[in-house]
Amino acid sequence: MKIQHPISNPGAALLALGCTLASANALALDPTLTNPAISAVVDGYYQSSDRPMSERTEGFGLGETELALSANIDDMFYGKVTAVLESSDGESEINLEEAFIQTLAMPAGLSLRAGRFMSDIGYLNNQHLHTDAFTDRPVAYRALLGGHYFDDGVRLDYLAPTDIYWSLGAEAFKGDSMHAEDETGSREFSNLGVFTAYSKFGGDIGDAGSWMAGLSYLRNQNGRFMPHEEEAGAEEAGHGHSASYTGENTYAADFVYKWAPQGNYKYRHLTLSGEYFRVTGLLSDEAPAAGAKRRQDYHQAWYLSGVYQMSPNWSAGLRYGELDAQALEADEMQSQKLRETELSLGWHQSHFSTVRLQYTHQQGANFDGITDDNILTLQYVMSLGAHGAHQF
């Protein structure tokens, strides 16, 4: 259960589990352009009620059904393309979630990625949704990152030659999905809108435990909103994967601890994780209207999660999260709070199939259109074809 940098050894992370292309005996151990790794993930569900800021709606539906193609381009580059089919309110759409190239042989522990990809800020964001132990991302992600933040841009990573795992990275993105609301369409947004920086470090505790911690910063050039009725920001942007609450600066901290007897993760293991986000710089520099009181000028959100796999076939999870956000109403900041307690029970016939039942209790305080509710979700996640190893 040693921690391994997700991009320092891409051959191991992308090892094809089984890909019969030319004949029944062809085993793709090293995907190449003539023998790429091809996979599909089907995510279906039934949900008893709507959840705020979630792509999953009441009734039957599809989550992110994913089709991915990846291969080593040559000895210098690796590439991946991931298309996602989503269904919401009776309508289906196809989105390109990933389309990037990655260097394989840069010197001095450096690596470069360019194209469309998931940002490496935080702990969960760089992981695909079907790898989660719950049916949806915690409210912190749904509110502040649009579920998971992916974008067009470039990333530079550095893996330090230290005894413990330590990596540093920086990214620059277009940032369209992180725009503050512009109801009139009159604002001018920067074409290079989001910059990130992060550091991750971790190690082992004996032969049974491993840990990793991270600090992240996101600068959103287009995150502030205007204190005018005609441009009331901090509302949902109206399209999928957009941040519902924005600001200029996002500070984040994350931690994860994993335990398994003698490091054997297959039969029994425990994962404890948590993240905290704080977003500042919500309003423009203009002063509020005369007599208006400016309340809390930041958003914050966090969650704590524990998932225990008691056998190869069964796992159970408990997660609690809170969102404390601000909305602009009549040039005055109004607090909106949402709390979620989630219990999940998962059955895994194999590494490729999961059926999950989840109970969610949500509590909304001054949250627009949200009342206390109990939600049941039944989900199935099925993987077809080559399926790379999950990240730490």
Mean pLDDT of all residues in 101-108 = 94
pLDDT at 141 over 90: yes
Instruction: Give mean pLDDT, residues 220-226.
Output: 85
Of the candidate ranges 14-18, 56-60, 212-216, 228-232, the one whose mean pLDDT is the lowest: 14-18
CA 258/CA 263 separation, integer angstroms:
9
One CATH from 3.40.366.30, 1.10.3210.10, 2.40.160.10, 1.10.3720.10 for 110-379: 2.40.160.10
Distance CA 36, CA 73 (A): 10
Instruction: Give the pLDDT confidence score for residue 32 in this predicted structure.
Output: 62
Rounded Cα distance, 285 and 281, in Å: 9
- 13, containing H or E segment: helix 10-13
Q: Which position has the token pair 């989503």?
A: 86
Separation of alpha carbons 88 and 133, rounded Å? 22
* Interval 179-190: pLDDT, tens: 888 766 677 888
Supply the DSSP string of 315-326, one letter for each residue. EEEEEEEEEEEE
Half-sphere exposure of 228 (CA within 13 A, CB side): 11
pLDDT score for 85: 86
CA–CA dist 318, 342 (Å, integer):
6
Considering only 42-56, 60-74, 232-246, 323-337, which range has the smallest mean pLDDT? Answer: 232-246
Whose structure tokens read 């309340």? 295
- Identify the band that residue 31 occupies on the pLDDT scale cut at 50, 70 and 90: low
Q: What angle do CA 30, 381, 309 make, to 5 degrees?
A: 90
Determine the pLDDT at residue 25.
34
pLDDT surpasses 70 at 293: no
Instruction: State how far the Cα of 367 lies from the Cα of 311, in Å rounded to an integer.
Output: 39
Percent of the chain with pLDDT over 70: 79
CA distance linking residue 82 with residue 288, whole number of Å: 44
**pLDDT higher than threshold 50 for residue 23:** no
The domains of the chain are located at 110-379
With 60 as the cut, is the pLDDT of residue 118 above it? Answer: yes
pLDDT digits (tens, 9 = 90+) for 148-157: 999 999 999 9
* Exposure string over 265-304, b if 16+ CB within 10 A, otherwise e: eeeebbbebbbbbbbebbbbeeeeeeeeeeeeebbbbbbb
For residue range 233-263, list pLDDT tens digits in order. Answer: 334 333 457 898 999 999 999 999 999 998 7
Scanning the structure block, which residue is given the tokens 């029994």?
268
pTM of this structure: 0.84
